[in-house]
Amino acid sequence: MTMLDQLKPNKLARIVEIDEEHGLRQKLFSREITEGSIVRVISSYGLITFEIGRKTFAIGCDMAQKIRVIRVI
């Protein structure tokens, strides 16, 4: 397992855990970023930009460091 901010572009991963800190899980849930979602990183320069399904999201590195993922082949 690794954190979302450590994934390289075009890699797929499944979100397995989101830290509870400062209501982060609820903030991400409201944007449809949930545990079990498959993400594909688009860019990790500056903001972490990624896709879940056909939707694109961008979050800060500090937030991405609190999202634990497992790589999907």
pTM as predicted: 0.89
Q: Which domains does the chain have, with CATH numbers?
A: 2-72 (2.30.30.90)
pLDDT bucket at 73, cuts 50 / 70 / 90:
confident
Query: Taking a C-beta distance cutoff of 8 angstroms, is the pair 14, 41 a contact?
Result: no
In eight-state DSSP terms, residue 32 is T
Q: Which helix or strand (DSSP H or E) is residue 64 part of?
A: helix 61-64
Nearest to 43 by CA among 56, 32, 31: 56
Using one digit for the tens of pLDDT, what is the confidence trace for 4-37? 999 999 999 999 999 987 788 888 998 999 999 9
The Cα–Cα gap between 20 and 11 comes to 25
